Amino acid sequence: MAKQALAYFEDLRERNVLEIKKAKEEGKKVVGTYCAFTPKELIIAAGAIPVSLCGTRQEPIPEAEEILPRNLCPLIKSSFGFAITDTCPYFHFADLLIAETTCDGKIKMYELLREYKPMHVLNLPPTPLGERALDYWYHEIVKTKEFLEREFDVTITTAKLREAIRQVNKERRALLEFNRLNCHDPAPLSGLDLLKVLWAKGFTPDLSAGTAAIYQVIEAVKEQMAEGVYAAPPGTPRLLLTGCPVGLGSEKVINLVEEGGGLVVCLESCSGIKPLEPLIDEEDEPLRAIAAKYLQTPCPCLTPNKGRLELLARLIQEYRIDGVIDLTWQACHTYNIESYNIRKLVQGRAGLPFLQIETDYSTGDLQQLKVRIDAFLEMIK
């Protein structure tokens, strides 16, 4: 039953391309996004469809490297490669892009992307702390609202914003409940199961249908648990994967962990739990509430980033974690430097084994990674 429910998400990205194409033919607008800091509530309130853009596969990177440096983050190169080769259907159908200043590499890449699509860039404050930071970010949210209104010739009303907030909060609640199924030991979901559902949410044009599908998975997994069926037997090492975002096409670390006899029971990154909490306050003034929620995203691009340490400490307890793997994509300096503090938290405060991995999307280091991950799992066992 759970497999059937999860199968809905297997080729959802491909199926949704047809839905996006149909929506475009009916006059709907599409907005491409790259990051968890982009408030999709604004896009929905503008009557448009928010879609995540491709950037988790190795295939378009060689073309990107003809323009971008080779020693650059693979996520940036993949995103740019998909755009310039017109091989990401979501980028193809996007009327415009909304991006954000999370790292220097992305900021400069966005300058080049402006040649392909109209773009609005949200400028993040350097720190998430204090009223001045929130005021600054609030005005960035207001400017984004005004940009969408101008581009699409619409008025984003308070009523539309409140309804969009309600819809997206409902999706977040569903995804949080889905993730929390793995607080149970033994865990009912593999890391790949988690990734399929979490990753697919960014490519879903019909938010209500997508949320309903998540709840169907939840009920199916609960039925499976009642029958004593789990993703791995009791005693399987329970791993938390933190660090840079992972998508289908760049899940090699998850695969190696689970092929080696471990189980990734929690994904902390911005392709996992990180952007789901907290929910937006549905009673507050909408734009201010949106600003307050998104500024709490515990990303290393903001300093100090105590929120990530607090989140990890809580997840380690809730998900009964046996070890933590910190994944850094090559040349991602913000995550790489922050790994020092993550190590101190995991090994010192939590007293757990810790492994940091720096890699890219290619398969060239699979054997080396397998040796390291197998040794890490053996240490936990």
Q: What mean pLDDT do residues 290-313 have?
A: 97
Distance CA(328)–CA(217), nearest Å, equals 30
Residue 203: the pLDDT is 80
Three-state secondary-structure class, residue 365: coil
Averaged confidence pLDDT in the chain: 95
Q: What is the total count of domains within the chain? A: 1
pLDDT cut 90: percent of the chain above it: 91
Burial class (CB in 10 A: 0-12, 13-18, 19+), 379: exposed
Distance CA(42)–CA(303), nearest Å, equals 26
pLDDT at residue 163 tops 70: yes
Burial class (CB in 10 A: 0-12, 13-18, 19+), 271: buried
**In 3D, which of 234, 222, 257, 228 has the Cα closest to residue 186?**
234
- The CATH number of the domain holding residue 80 is 3.40.50.11900
Domain enclosing residue 213, as ranges = 1-381
- Angle at the Cα of 173 from the Cα atoms of 172 and 178, rounded to 5 degrees: 95
Question: Residue 54: which pLDDT band, with cuts at 50, 70 and 90?
Answer: confident
Q: What mean pLDDT do residues 224-245 have?
A: 96
Other residues' Cβ atoms within 10 Å of the Cβ of residue 312:
25
Lowest average pLDDT, out of 14-28, 76-90, 266-280, goes to 14-28
Residue 201: the pLDDT is 79
pLDDT tens, 315-339?
999 999 999 999 999 999 999 999 9
Question: Residue 85: which pLDDT band, with cuts at 50, 70 and 90?
Answer: very high
Q: At which residue do the structure tokens 């100090």 appear?
A: 304
Tell me the HSE value of 288 on the side-chain side, using a 13 A CA sphere.
Answer: 5
Residue 2: the pLDDT is 72
Distance CA(311)–CA(78), nearest Å, equals 29
Omega within 30 of 0 (cis) for the link into 278: yes
Residue 274: the pLDDT is 96
Q: 273 near 230, Cβ under 8 Å?
A: no
pLDDT tens, 111-131?
999 999 999 999 999 999 999
Q: Is this prediction's pTM over 0.75?
A: yes
Question: Residue 1: which pLDDT band, with cuts at 50, 70 and 90?
Answer: low
Burial class (CB in 10 A: 0-12, 13-18, 19+), 257: buried
Distance CA(286)–CA(279), nearest Å, equals 12
Residue 243: the pLDDT is 98
Helices of type H across 65-205: 74-85, 89-93, 104-113, 131-152, 158-180, 191-200
What residues contact residue 185 under an 8 Å CB cut-off, 6+ apart? 234, 238, 320
Lowest average pLDDT, out of 140-154, 188-202, 271-285, goes to 188-202
Q: What mean pLDDT do residues 32-38 have?
A: 95
Q: What mean pLDDT do residues 164-185 have?
A: 98
Burial class (CB in 10 A: 0-12, 13-18, 19+), 377: buried
pLDDT at residue 237 tops 90: yes
